Structure 1
Amino acid sequence: MKSSRLEVADLIESSSRAIATWTVDQQYGKDTTMEERYGANGRRMWNQEVLARIAHLAEAVALDREQIFIGNALWSKAAFTAREMNTADLAQNLQCMMSVLIEQLPKVISDLTTPIIAHAVETLLNNQACVVSPMSIVGTSRDLARMYLMHLLRRDRSEAERFILDLSKNGLTFSQICEGIFAPAMAEIGHMWHVQEASIADEHYCTNATNQILEALRCKTPRKANNGYLMIAASVGGDMHDLGIRTLSAIYEKEGWNVEFLGANTPAQEIANAIEPQAFRGGADLLALSASTSLRLRGVHNAIVTVRATDAGKNIPIIVGGQPFQLIDDLWKVVGANAQSVTASASLEIALQLVIDSHLKKPKAKRIH
């Protein structure tokens, strides 16, 4: 990332509250029906909307990827549509934000933000906000994923676990269950919350139940022969979601890797410390980092920069994953990683080759287990 872009992103974030206030004031001034249509809490709601949009704008500027901001605008349009809110207000809100940035902030900021916001407005006006259910593109496991999610939505974790363990006994592999059932089911419950077909409680229950069922399945699944390599895995600082990286860790473990899973919200320095040789083991061979939303991409970049500044981390292969990396193809390069993980099973061969190549460049004794 260019330092100039990072500085502009920081300026945008430090001015976010003022930008939000000015944007809402301008929109309400232009449209006198807003007060009546949105009621007493309308300004507060729009203020929160603008703050969320500014956070994504800062991320888009920092990484030089306008898709981050445009994607968030489309996500909001789908939410507005589901809640029967006027999506034209969203486009007008973006136009007001663009005007505020031009009028109130230094030109160096508006030069970078105006093209992004203008393209987002154009996309909003031309997009029909048709949100596709993740289940419609799952493939052969779609019906199984639906059945699994149905058990969870009925709050029947025990039956959901029996369903998964039976599938395992009948021949589905660990990775097939994780990637063909758990992943689409969790994507679907997130989609259902987005379009107001499920509550926050529904989403939390399904996620926590899946964590428990994943662990039950992991304990009952045999592990392949140890390959002698160690992977450190974590969600970056500020990211409270860890089911994706937890699943990747479990799949790698079953494929013979030694895995230290650090969990959610792991500070960059702690990640750097974890890859160092310890009294009880050597240094790590691979680092896997996860960002569940676009707002954590700079966190991934910061973690990688911190790791690369250490002796142990100079040459360690780093793979990254999470929804943003699936939506924008080259983000893994932007944040400084060696590869991305679209699915854990698909990344195994790449990860192993990266580790082998790194050992050839800098030979070291292989650990004995």
Structure 2
Amino acid sequence: MTRVDVALGERSYPIHIGAGSLADAARWRPAIAGRHVLVLSNTVVAPLYLDRVVAGLDGLDHTIVVLDDGEQHKTLENVARIFDALAALGASRDATLIALGGGVVGDLGGFAAACWMRGIDFVQMPTTLLAMVDSSVGGKTGVNLAAGKNLVGAFHQPRAVFIDTRTLATLPRREYLAGLAEVVKYGAIGDAAFFAWIERHVEALLARDEAALDEAIARSCRHKAGVVARDERELGERALLNFGHTFGHAIEVEAGYGELLHGEAVAIGMVLAARLSATLGRAPRADAERLEALLRRLDLPTRLPAGCQPERLLERMRLDKKSVSGQLRLILWTGLGAADVVAGIDESRILAELENDVANLA
């Protein structure tokens, strides 16, 4: 079992990474302080892993909420369902919410935990690669609106994160590959050596080799834990973790929630951000090509899906949470391993990059 710590003073917490941790109640049960527990999962994960978690809740008052699977279900309506279940349980301020599933379950559960009685504990048990390396760590929670992704949310750190790498054996290939996009991101924005390591281990990662996965997950979590510790509320450095996300979120919403997985949209967004960086003279074109080549080797999309209209994408990008006073800000890079926040980009340059991508689909 590998442990990574997120250092946030009184709100510090551990990330435990290893095979079989869901069934090891002796490891995760101490993270539960009170007697009320709500376990949140979805219709895909619950039949596979819910029993292992419930078996560890002996002696506690607990209830279960199982949601439909998919990004389109990350809604305020489902948060209300969680509130109703907590009320029926009689959950007090020392209650704990366990989020067992992918990023949608973690985001919803964390947001509900942040709101119930102004904040209760929650524990992340991510079962997708994307959630393991990204959304389960750092305390970002939220739900989607028709206007955009994660526009309603809160910062609410978990008590602990338990990553059972054996759950990846049942993860559909498409979702697994989408998670690899976020792994690539960490190398792209802050660790060129890790990026090169991924390039050397593509075959092992595609085969879900246990040793390669443990290394990739641990290195990704260490990177994110360090950034979160230095900038918990995204006032500076943490914004860099959104490399590709301003484009990606717009693409994801425009395509329709559920049509394009988050990691797939981020893969396309990273390529667009890298190309724009090269067009603006900020980074070598060869580095953008290297990034695109790696994503293609990982069988991830690198071009806009058919039907996406550049003007509509730009309109959605203006709603991005990194925008300040109506001014769009993007995470661009100066090459592999180095990124920064850039404001004041002429929107016509962004639109031209999107139009160029669409033209290349023809």
Higher relative contact order (CA 8 A, sep 6+): 2
Q: Which has the larger radius of gyration?
A: 1
Same structural fold, with TM-score higher than 0.5 when normalized by the shorter chain: no
Q: Which has the higher helix share?
A: 1
TM-score (normalizing by structure 1): 0.26
Structure with the largest fraction of strand: 2
